Structure 1
Amino acid sequence: MRELEECIVAEGIVKPQGVLKVDAFLNHQCDTELFDHMGAVWARLFADAPINKILTIEASGIGIACVAARHFGNAPVVFAKKAQSINLDGDQYATTIYSYTKQREFPVIVGRRFLSPDDHVLILDDFLANGYALEGLIGLCDFAGAHVEGIGIAIEKLFQGGGDRLRSRGYRVESLARIQSMDGETGAIVFA
């Protein structure tokens, strides 16, 4: 998606250790018009899938998923929470994921009443690097018996291999910007 790539080049900051900072438009300050265009592209890419629910993880995926949901008949958006709270009541699906950017493990939790065997899920997230967060979300869907119809990613860092692993397991992954390489010293970004 050329528009997203242009935003990455214009406003993204390449940091050491394979980190791309895109907080100016994607995961701190949100460009809702860009999110809307991204949702339209995912709707076209997944037009053949019977999606009735969108799943993401807090916090960066929530805005993207909520705006994109409009293009999927206003499908409900469920987000996995990263911590137990008194607001989470009843039975829950839970697993643990490792965050590449935070360099630690998090629990991820979804109330059982929000995922079921009747759900055809599109997982949406801002980044795909090593794929651990997505593996956790897939695991929650597996616990619920929900069918994962596909995975929509804003930015995939191909050099970290997570997308290849998911695709090799048969998951349909549609990434809107695919980065082949980044240079933390020069700030150069090479798109696939």
Structure 2
Amino acid sequence: MMEKLKTRILQESSVVSSDVLRMDAIINHMVDPELTMEMGREFAARFAEQSITKVVTVESSGIPAAFTTAYVLGVPLVFARRKKTLIADPDAYCERVPSFTKGMVTDIMVSKQFLTSDDRVLFIDDIIANGDAARGLIKIIERSGAALVGMGVVVEKSFQAGGRTLRESGIRVESLVRIASLEGGEITFE
């Protein structure tokens, strides 16, 4: 699975800069259902012993991998919705998060009815770079009282601090692929 994903990344993605990798043809514009199902099976296998009750992600690029993971685990998927402005909704948890790739700040929200202290959640995302969106959703999970059992990431840019800082805070982060560098327009895997 990981080798297939690495091959696809090398064949179908493009290095935009030393910080940005465009993977539109693989995970965040066009989606390969068969490859995405394999991702879901892999995440489900890695977290199989965790008694997960829900899978969570942030819209929109995280949804395909999170959906297939939830499907394999047989649990609901909850995705944090992005809002252009913060609406004071008493029935939702909201966090303001900067987006590294979009270059802007958005608000993410999850309805309080979908995350409770009874939940054991697995957070799945497509890419982790600086981890700002991830930290926002983790704050929401903490405020809900739900237990975060871990995070699965399709691609971790390990030369940026996101994955490392989450691990240092005690969160289990499982990445399918880790990219060590995009220097000189070359993709270097860890």
TM-score (norm 2): 0.94
Residue 182 of structure 2 corresponds to 182
SS of the residue corresponding to residue 98 of structure 2 reads strand
> Identity percentage over the alignment?
42
State whether residues 53 and 121 of structure 1, in contact with CA within 8 Å, keep that contact through their aligned partners in structure 2: yes
- Once the two structures are superposed, residues 42-97 of structure 1 have per-residue CA deviations (whole angstroms, 9 ceiling, x without a partner) of 11111121111010011101122112212112x10111011179xx9760000111
Distance 1:89 1:158 in 2: 35
- Could you say which residue in structure 2 is the equivalent of 1:126? 126
Aligned match of 2:78: 78
How far apart, in 2, do the equivalents of 1:39 and 1:82 lie? 23
Distance (Å, rounded) in 2 between the aligned partners of 1:155 and 1:68: 15
Matches within 5 A, 1:5-44: 5-44=6-45
Q: Distance in 2 between matches of 1:115 and 1:190?
A: 38
**In structure 1, C-alpha distance between the alignment counterparts of 2:4 and 2:117, rounded to whole Å:** 36
Q: Which runs of 5+ in 1 are unaligned?
A: none
Contact 1:53 1:77 in 2 (8 A): yes
1:1-192 equivalence runs, <5 A: 1-73=2-74, 75-83=75-83, 91-183=91-183, 185=184, 187-192=185-190
Shift of the alpha carbon at 1:170?
0.5
Q: Write the letter of the residue equivalent to 2:164.
A: D
TM-score in terms of structure 1 length: 0.93
Paired AA for residue 60 in structure 1: S
- Give the whole-Å Cα distance in 2 for the aligned partners of 1:80 and 1:11: 28
> Letter of the aligned partner of 1:122 in structure 2?
L
The CA distance in 2 between the partners of 1:42 and 1:65, in whole Å, is 9
RMSD: 1.5
- The DSSP-based 3-state class of the residue aligned with 2:130 is coil
